[in-house]
Structure 1
Amino acid sequence: MRIAYLHGGSIPSFFANGVHVMRMCDAFTDAGHEVTLYSLPGTYTDEDPYAYYGVRHRFPIRLVPAPDYTPDGYRARGERIRDLLTGDGAPDLIYARDPYSLTATADLAPFVYEVHQLRRDLPPGTERALLGAPRLARVVVITHRLALDLQEAYEDLGGLPIQVAPDCADPPDPHATVDTPALPGRPHAPRIGYVGHLYDGRGIDLILDLAGRLPGFDFHLVGGTAEDRARWEEPCPHPNVYFHGHRPPSALPGYFPLFDVVLAPHQPKVYTWGRLDEIGRWTSPMKLFEYMAHGRAIVASDLPVLREVLEDRVNCLLRPSDAPQAWADALVELVDDGSLRKALGEEARRQFLERYTWRRRADLVLAGLGTP
């Protein structure tokens, strides 16, 4: 199929939505589809986006700016994307995470609307019109909880064509050349890793608490904007905590194998950049699946949305998000018990390969909508 992917964010960027979008376009291309990505221009870096994200295929990227970052500006951008689509010839399918540009183009082809949260920031009626549009082919959500909440919010529209598809990761490429970073810290101290943003609700305060309880362990946090990093690092009193800052997605495979145990300490309320939205009820953290892809032993928060993927003492250890001593005990258990650590990591990787690769997700969300 000829697929137009409509993204409301920028490429490249340091936001997780850019990783998701580039990985999905890469997986669609790998499946034999002809994909063009329509995105806002990047503002974070001028690095080549294919190298920055480490994707395998060079699908076309058309950068379409908005006159300004207001609803009117986004609507004007949507009309520009409509002109581009009609000029290029209507695609076989529109796949979108951007309700503004999708609103402007929803009559051009069958479309899939992907949703990661209940949108409270849209002009009234925007999402309802999309969900009731005649050419809607499928609604893709990342968790079962979100599927239930979305259906309840629009129950008057009848049964929506919802497909649950969690976030995913790519299997490590055994033939890829990956730079292995030189981590600071003590050579024989257990290395506890966290990869992801440092926003409120990601459990960074819990990690710092653990560092104080376990002075013999080294804690490495990879990710975060310069501002967020400074907010946590400057007052941190623990010498066994190392903040590595943001790294390009293509560089992260070098970090995962260095960690003995990795952490997913999400809290019940998880905020996006600038506390613009609270998404804890629906989150499907990509880094969790990257941990699984690399066969790492995981300690994660025991939250309903994470239990959609995780099972205690099967593919991870689950602990209450507000019980730091329970987390400390779990870390000690995993560091002391190499067999358990290996078993959890291997089962996590097995489940990842079976259920949570980007290519499998691409096939799932397009199933029945056409063939390459």
Structure 2
Amino acid sequence: MRLAYLHAGSIPSVFANGVHVMRMCDAFTAAGHEVTLYTLPGSHPAEDPYAYYGVRHRFPIRTVPVADYTPSGYWKRAERVRGLLERDGVPELVYGRDPYGLCAAADLAPFVYEAHQLRRDLEPAGTERDLLARPRLTRLVTITHALAHDLRSTYADLGALPILVAPDCADPVDPTPDRPLRQLPGRPDVPRIGYVGHLYEGRGIGLILRLARRFPGLDFHLVGGTPEYRERWETSCDLSNVHFHGHRPPTELPSYYRNFDLLLSPHESKVYTWGKLDEIGRWTSPMKVFEYMAHGLPMIVSDLPVLREVLQDRVNCLLRPPDDTDAWADALTELLADGPLRRRLGDEARRQLLERYTWRRRADSVLAGLPPAAAPAVTGPEGR
């Protein structure tokens, strides 16, 4: 099937949405589809976006800039995207997270809209409602059941929406990598506690630093974060056992995971995107949690309703209240003292990832059961 993926963010970039989009395009291509990605030009200096993200397939990427980052600018860009779709040959299916682009192209082909939050930022007001009312909407993909519930409630007047819940994912990890172990700063003979992700408000960085102060015999490594957020946290931290590594290309992250003994994901109840533009805590599905699972490492994660859609305490992780530092300290102490528990949690997390949460499985799932013109390819061995 010829599939166009519409993305309103930059490729490459330091943001998680770029990882998600490139992984999905890679998985669609692995499933046998002809994929073209329409995206903004890169906001991060990388010569080869395929190498930067570590994807296996070199699907075409068409960059369509925006003149100004305003609704008017995005609408004008959406019309240019539509023109490119017509000139490139109208695809059999349009898929994307770009409401403006999907609105502009909604009459060209059946389309799938993937939502990661309620879009209250779109102008004019009612843009998302208009998109969901279009007759060629084939499927609405959400990353959590909580978001599916809120979309149904918000747009109840539109009737039954064609919603499919598809959590975020990760790729399986090679258990015997041929790359050398990355050398990290700090002490080589103490346990290493890892966090991978952004450093925005609501990501629980303050809790990690409180734990580091309580456990001077452990080294804490935080991988990720834009330069301004890294500087903000690093300049206020006076702990010698905390190491900030800043943003790293996705393809480099496995070499960090291989150094860690256990991982933290301390999301707060309110989670913000860059610059506090949006609050997404009710709907979040952190990709890094799935990467943690793929690496088979034990993890402590915030006990939030939306995360319980995937995680279960003492089965594939330890869940602790995001505002209870004592509970996190107790969980950290327990995991460090109990090797069999660490192995059991990590092994079960990896097993569930391979069984349920790979990008290839997700790519097949979001297209399954669509009309014949948008039917998925048959899943092969790569569909694990």
1:111 counterpart = 2:103? no
Instruction: Output aligned runs, 1:6-21, within 5 Å.
Output: 6-21=6-21
Q: State the match for 2:283 in structure 1.
A: 282
Residues 1:61 and 1:177: Cα distance change in structure 2 (over 3 Å): farther
Which residues of structure 1 form unaligned runs of 5+? Answer: none
Q: State the match for 1:2 in structure 2.
A: 2
CA distance in 2 between partners of 1:47 and 1:287 (Å):
25
Contact 2:31 2:376 in 1 (8 A): no
1:23 counterpart = 2:23? yes
Deviation at 1:182, TM superposition (A): 0.6
Instruction: Output aligned runs, 1:125-140, within 5 Å.
Output: 125-140=126-141
Deviation at 1:175, TM superposition (A): 7.0
CA distance in 2 between partners of 1:331 and 1:225 (Å):
27
Which residues of structure 2 form unaligned runs of 5+? Answer: 378-384
CA distance in 2 between partners of 1:176 and 1:296 (Å):
16
Contact 2:181 2:258 in 1 (8 A): no
Contact 1:191 1:260 in 2 (8 A): yes
**Secondary structure of 2:278's match?**
coil
**Secondary structure of 2:220's match?**
strand
Taking structure 1 as the reference length, what is the TM-score of the superposition? 0.98
Q: State the match for 1:344 in structure 2.
A: 345
Please list the CA deviations of residues 32-81 of structure 1 after superposition, one character each: whole Å capped at 9, or x if unmatched: 00000000001221321000000000000000011111111111111111
**Secondary structure of 1:113's match?**
strand
Q: State the match for 1:262 in structure 2.
A: 263
**Secondary structure of 1:341's match?**
helix
Q: Which amino acid letter does the alignment assign opposite residue 76 of structure 2?
A: A
Please list the CA deviations of residues 206-257 of structure 1 after superposition, one character each: whole Å capped at 9, or x if unmatched: 0000001111111000000111011111111211100011000010011112
Q: Which amino acid letter does the alignment assign opposite residue 23 of structure 1?
A: R
Q: Which amino acid letter does the alignment assign opposite residue 68 of structure 2?
A: D
**Secondary structure of 1:147's match?**
helix
CA distance in 1 between partners of 2:175 and 2:11 (Å):
27
Contact 2:364 2:376 in 1 (8 A): no
Residues 1:176 and 1:29: Cα distance change in structure 2 (over 3 Å): farther
Q: Which amino acid letter does the alignment assign opposite residue 268 of structure 2?
A: Q
CA distance in 1 between partners of 2:93 and 2:178 (Å):
35
Q: State the match for 2:299 in structure 1.
A: 298
**Secondary structure of 2:59's match?**
coil
Q: Percent of counterpart pairs with the same letter?
A: 72
Contact 1:179 1:251 in 2 (8 A): no
Please list the CA deviations of residues 160-195 of structure 1 after superposition, one character each: whole Å capped at 9, or x if unmatched: 000000110001135765453211111221110000
Q: Which amino acid letter does the alignment assign opposite residue 314 of structure 2?
A: R
Q: State the match for 1:329 in structure 2.
A: 330
Instruction: Output aligned runs, 1:72-221, within 5 Å.
Output: 72-123=72-123, 124-174=125-175, 177-178=178-179, 180-221=181-222
Contact 1:144 1:164 in 2 (8 A): yes
Please list the CA deviations of residues 77-135 of structure 1 after superposition, one character each: whole Å capped at 9, or x if unmatched: 11111111111111000001000111110100000000000111001121111101000
Taking structure 2 as the reference length, what is the TM-score of the superposition? 0.95
Contact 2:94 2:112 in 1 (8 A): yes
RMSD: 1.0
Q: State the match for 2:316 in structure 1.
A: 315
Please list the CA deviations of residues 125-165 of structure 1 after superposition, one character each: whole Å capped at 9, or x if unmatched: 21111101000000000000000001000000011000000
